[in-house]
Amino acid sequence: MSTSTTNTVDAVDAIVVGAGFAGMYMLHCLRELGLSARVIEAGSGVGGTWYWNRYPGARCDVESMQYSYSFSDKLDQDWEWSEKYSPQPEILAYANHVADRYDLRRDIQFNTRVTEATFNEAANRWIVATDQGDRIDAQFCIMAVGCLSAANRPPFDGLDDFQGPVHHTGEWPHDDVDFTGLDVAVIGTGSSAIQAIPIIAAQAKSLTVFQRTPSYTVPAWNEKMDPEYERDIKEDYPAFRAKARARPTGFYFPFNMESALDATPAEREHQYEEAWARGGLPFLGSYGDLLFETDANDTIADFARTKIRAVVDDPATADLLCPDNVFGCKRLCVDTNYYQTYNQPHVTLVDVSENPIERFTTTGVVTNGIDYKVDTAVFATGFAAMTGSFDKIKITGRDGLTLAEKWRAGPRTYLGLSTVGFPNLFMITGPGSPSVLANMIPSIEQHVDWMVDCMGHMRDVGAATIEPTLTYEDDWVKHVNEVAQVSLRSTCSSWYVGANIPGRPRVFMPYIGGFPIYVNKCNEVMTNNLEGFILKGAAKTTTAPRTRWTERWRVPLDMDIISPAAIAAKRVPVV
């Protein structure tokens, strides 16, 4: 299905918004369940995040062998990743392979944006409207809109007058952007910028980086896939997946549960050096208390700053690049030659922390009274995280309540799966679930599997709607907030708390209690006859939910690492 311009109302069992990894897997499962479905996708192809983020250097910072679907061992065995960390084109190729392999495209309507979703209380169904004039009627409305999909484009004065091209990393053009011979501005120094800057610098005549807050970044030490490593994992991929799922992050890496404060300075130095040499996000697993005790965190932050100063030649530039906030409080970045880039004579770092960007001129960017002449600008300015994609759609539930109104003071959900007032509306990796704090693809699969069992159960018992109760939702929101308070992560101005964009409510949005505890909770709710939810219209109330899909998430938990006692003792390395 490519596009539609009909004004008639089509009816399906489920409408899915978004054809990224979440929407694709949901479609696959809905078909297996025997439900009819239509997926609406704004882009011209599948892949979601990996469709939109085509900026130079875009690459996943979760290892390739762990960043893929796990629902089919055959798929796992057939696909081969070429590098330790996959570049964006390869992940997009994988998404396309999956779409072809499972014949997904025939139920995906591309180049179409959902504009409104309205719950019709009389019919107990959703009516979804698109910018192509479609009106689709469905029992279930499933939001697979992504957590980092609504690009943040700061409205700088004069931007409309700027003569050169402006590209946001999250909405990158499909044609190659060639920076050869150009004076380039990059605004922002988060994960996207840190990947793009070394590549852009290699092409540009000059590169000026406008930095508001420096990030901590750890070298990726990316390399070609080691065939022996790949072979070992593929010998028993399900066991490897199970091991990963039992970790707070939903991906496997060695980590140390001991306290940084119990180690001597020499021991810490040794530990950090070894972890730095392995590189990537697992660096944060050097000790168990790094995200809980400020004194412990200071030790890793000091180590990271020493590494920056050892690489960057100019002391003033090195000072600017050294963060002074909690290490790992904002999302840790992973890089290839980021700091080295600032040793090149044509690369300039401009601090806009005290003197923000004032405006664009026709030919440049002005801050602190200085007009930096540039031919083109790259906005690496991030996203309205977690709720931004919901905000773009007018979602109206029972009694005319809109989701934007309900979430005005911050998102409220039960388990990050659904929200009171919006029956039969599911959100994949929604706020209140581990989502961005865990490996995204397992997070997606676990949510979809839970939802599919839930929808199957509703069919079994003849239920028309499902909706959480306010008490259970309130308790979950309280729990999400309490757990967040335990972590230093709740203390800084990150996108996790909506602080990157003026005017957004400050609430820690993802669930920080760890993936396995969360999965356990979801399983328990399912087993307890969907505890905390009200099913309306059910004819057979005694039938227990079948757990065809969720069964595979019942992995033995490593309770030393993820038990409530471990959380209370502040010994849960969360990445």
- d(C-alpha 562, C-alpha 558), whole Å: 6
Considering the rule CB under 6 A, would residue 92 count as an interface residue with ligand N01?
no
Q: How many residues bind ligand N01 (CB under 6 A)?
A: 28
What is the footprint of ligand N01 within residues 166-185 (CB under 6 A)? 169
509 is an interface residue for ligand N01 by CB under 6 A: no
Least separation in angstroms between residue 529's CB and ligand N01 is 36
Q: How far is CA 250 from CA 136, 218, 269, in A?
A: 35, 20, 27
190 is an interface residue for ligand N01 by CB under 6 A: yes
Question: Minimum Å distance from CB 367 to ligand N01?
Answer: 9
Binding ligand N01 (rule: CB under 6 A), the pick from 43, 154, 158, 532 is 154
Shortest distance, CB of residue 502 to ligand N01, whole angstroms? Answer: 9
Tokens of 491: 């203390």
Taking CB under 6 A as the rule, does residue 444 contact ligand N01? no
Sequence-ordered list of residues with C-beta below 8 angstroms from that of 458, at least 6 positions apart, any chain: 464, 466, 535, 538
349 binds ligand N01 (CB under 6 A): no
Q: Does 495 bind ligand N01 (CB under 6 A)?
A: yes
Among residues 472, 463, 479, 467, which one has the least CA distance to residue 513? 479
According to CB under 6 A, which one of 101, 135, 212, 479 is a site residue for ligand N01? 212
Closest-approach residue to ligand N01 (CB):
190
- Cβ proximity to ligand N01, 190 vs 423, nearer residue: 190
Residue of 88, 130, 213, 439 interacting with ligand N01 (CB under 6 A): 213
Tokens of 219: 């070298």
Contact between 149 and ligand N01 by CB under 6 A: the answer reads: no
Please classify residue 456 by burial: count the beta carbons closer than 10 Å to its beta carbon, then call 0-12 exposed, 13-18 middle and 19+ buried: buried
Is position 381 an interface residue for ligand N01 (rule: CB under 6 A)? yes
Contact status: 432 vs ligand N01 (CB under 6 A): no
The alpha carbon dihedral of 148, 149, 151, 152 has a sign of negative
Q: What is the DSSP string of 109-144?
A: E-S--EEEEEEETTTTEEEEEETTS-EEEEEEEEE-
Site for ligand N01 in 221-280 (CB under 6 A): none
Interface characters, 453-492, with ligand N01 (x: CB under 6 A):
----------------------------------------
Min separation Cβ 382 and ligand N01, Å: 2
CA–CA distance, 340 with 139 (Å, rounded to integer): 54
In angstroms, the CA 394 to CA 391 distance is 7
Residue 301 C-beta: closest distance to ligand N01, Å: 16
Q: Which of 440, 409, 436, 414 is nearest to 426 (CA)?
A: 414
Measured CA distances, 8 to 116, 119, 129, 200 (Å): 16, 18, 11, 48
To the nearest whole angstrom, how small is the minimum distance from the Cβ of residue 76 to ligand N01?
21
Asked whether position 500 contacts ligand N01 by CB under 6 A, the answer is: yes
Residue 427 touching ligand N01 (CB under 6 A): no
* Minimum gap (Å) between residue 458 Cβ and ligand N01: 34
Nearest one of 189, 114, 188, 141 to 393, comparing CA atoms: 114
- Within positions 322 to 341, which residues make up the interface with ligand N01, using CB under 6 A? 331, 334
C-alpha closest to that of 383 among 112, 93, 171, 167:
171
Considering the complex, state which of residue 220 and residue 290 has its C-beta at the smaller distance from ligand N01: 220
Query: What are the backbone dihedrals phi and psi of residue 230, each rounded to the nearest 5 degrees, phi first?
Result: -60, -45
How far apart CA 436 and CA 339 sit, in angstroms, is: 26
Q: Taking CB under 6 A as the rule, does residue 431 contact ligand N01? A: no
Q: Are 498 and 388 contacting, i.e. CB atoms less than 8 angstroms apart?
A: no
- Looking at beta carbons only, is 213 or 487 nearer to ligand N01? 213
Name the phi and psi angles at 190, rounded to 5.
-90, -165
Positions that interact with ligand N01 (CB under 6 A): 59-61, 148, 154, 169, 187-193, 195, 210, 212-213, 331, 334, 352, 357, 380-383, 436, 495, 500
